[in-house]
Chain A
Amino acid sequence: MSLVTTTSQTVGPFFKIGFEWLNCDNLVGEGVSGERITIQGRIFDGDGIPVPDAILEIWQANAHGKYDHPEDTQNKPVEPGFKGYGRVPVTAAGMFRFTTIKPGPVPGPNGNEQAPHLVISVFMRGLLKRLVTRMYFPGDARNASDPILNLVEPARRSTLIAKRTAGAPGTLEWNILLQGPDETVFFDLGL
């Protein structure tokens, strides 16, 4: 028998009471290897106004490029202090900020390698279903051959790559634009 996936509905304006117990803006536990980074940014609506009621969910591999999940059968170590899950609400001023490590590369769709990246779900009032995007790292030579980035028209790829922050090493800035000429690239996973 084949069933039909339940239809998605918006998280609405009050998701904080349901989501807060599992918030996580520091993905890095004790003894975790990798370069620690802080990623911060804002989410802008079609009028260029920062969205004050959104929440990001992050999923990523560890510094070895290993996901803490049974379907990742690569011969690479998981690390007990690193799950790879984050849930980060924006503040009333529309800012999000979280600390993690730069993941290692993971396999791509054809056995090729993907550049280090985070996969991200964006939820907010007004979104009837989540948005799915990715964040890549600035100055990483592997971005040029990443099989997913290469499916994006070249002029829009920069929306998926965080920027270094002047005077703050270890801090990256990445904004999400929901609409407009510089609209962030969102992916179709058949949701």
Chain B
Amino acid sequence: MKKVAAYRAPYPGTQPNHLHSPYVSSIKRAPTKPLVQIPYTLSEVTGPLFSSKIVAPKASDLTRQHSGEPLGERIIVSGRVLDENSRPLANTVVEIWQANAAGRYRHDVDQHDAPLDPNFTGCGQAVTDAEGHYRFVTIRPGEYPWRNHYNAWRAAHIHFSLFGPAFATRLVTQMYFPGDPLIPFDPIFNCTADEKARNRLISAFDWETTMPEHALGYRFDLILRGREATPMED
């Protein structure tokens, strides 16, 4: 039995605290007692691994899920999934979900009076290739109001969810768009203290993945936690 190598702790300020009071929903939901520190065990360094076959190839094109084309600006969102040691993470599931071009989610709870788009569901999945690349075709999501505070608006964003190789590497985050004027005022974007870490949530416009006369490309790389050096066999 190998001894279990831990995953590295984050650099200070690069991950949010559970409580961030400008994001009002965190106030009654963030734990109030200190978290209990535990060592890594086999339970945390293992985790669900999925066959790439569970994701249909067409699941990464959110513009082709209905009979017609969705309204809005078609975009290509692509990037790489790496760990902190710069190793590409192959064959990991990437899930995304988002609002439509008008800023409305196809969800019962979304009461924003912007129109639904019959040709846009707003969710997709991809699996990274051997070099950790993923690619989605979608439409640029709209900004939308929310009730966090007076005149509150969410910056345009796409939700990302990744498993990685272990329970410890699970990550859910959001991707933003360069130049969005709402970003400085978005309390969810601003929940992370470290400015550089925050700004890495903003995708980069990318000529290389832009398709002439078809769609603009945005690049968004995702980094999952890396491990301490593996201990020697007992």
Contacts and interface: CB of A to CB of B under 8 A. Distances in A.
Interface in A132-148: 134, 147-148
Given A18-B95, A46-B29, A71-B42, A189 B224 contact: no
B18 A127 contact: yes
B30 A6 contact: no
23 contacts: A4-B84, A4-B223, A5-B171, A10-B23, A10-B188, A11-B161, A12-B188, A15-B97, A17-B122, A17-B123, A18-B97, A18-B159, A19-B97, A69-B47, A69-B49, A107-B41, A126-B23, A179-B29, A183-B32, A186-B35, A189-B38, A190-B7, A191-B15
Given A15-B159, A20-B123, 18 more contacts: A3-B82, A3-B84, A4-B84, A7-B15, A9-B191, A9-B201, A10-B174, A12-B159, A15-B97, A22-B93, A67-B42, A69-B46, A71-B46, A72-B42, A108-B41, A117-B43, A126-B27, A188-B35
A179 B43 CA distance: 25
Given A7-B16, A74-B1, A13 B84 contact: no
Contacts, number: 247
Interface in B76-98: 82-86, 93, 95-97
B173 interface: yes
Query: DSSP majority for the B interface?
Result: loop
B86 A1 contact: yes
B29 A51 contact: yes
A178 B30 contact: yes
Nearest to B169: A5
Contacts of B223: 3-6
Interface stretch (B67-75, B105-113, B210-218): B105-113
B167 A119 contact: yes
A130 interface: yes
Contacts of A74: 1
Given A9-B172, A17-B107, A109-B4, A185 B36 contact: yes
A62 B73 CA distance: 47
B172 A5 contact: no
- Which 5 pairs of residues, A with B, have the shortest CB-CB distance? A18-B97, A126-B25, A69-B46, A126-B29, A190-B9
B8 interface: yes
Interface residues of A, number: 77
Contacts of A106: 41-43
Q: Of A10, A45, A85, A184, which is in contact with the most chain B CB atoms at under 10 Å from its CB? A: A10
Contacts of B54: 22
Given A3-B84, A148-B38, A189 B44 contact: yes
Nearest to B107: A14
Given A59-B47, A106-B42, A9 B173 contact: yes
A8 B121 CA distance: 24
Nearest to B197: A7
A7 B85 contact: no
A175 to B, nearest CB: 15
Nearest to B4: A109
A22 B28 CA distance: 28
Interface in B1-26: 1-2, 4, 6-11, 14-18, 20, 23, 25-26
B102 interface: no
Interface in A42-75: 45-47, 51, 53, 57, 59, 61, 67-74
Interface string B185-201: 00011011010111011
Contact of A128 (B16, B47, B166, B225): B16
B16 A11 contact: no
A148 B41 contact: yes
Q: Of B96, B159, B161, B174, which is in contact with the most chain A CB atoms at under 10 Å from its CB? A: B159
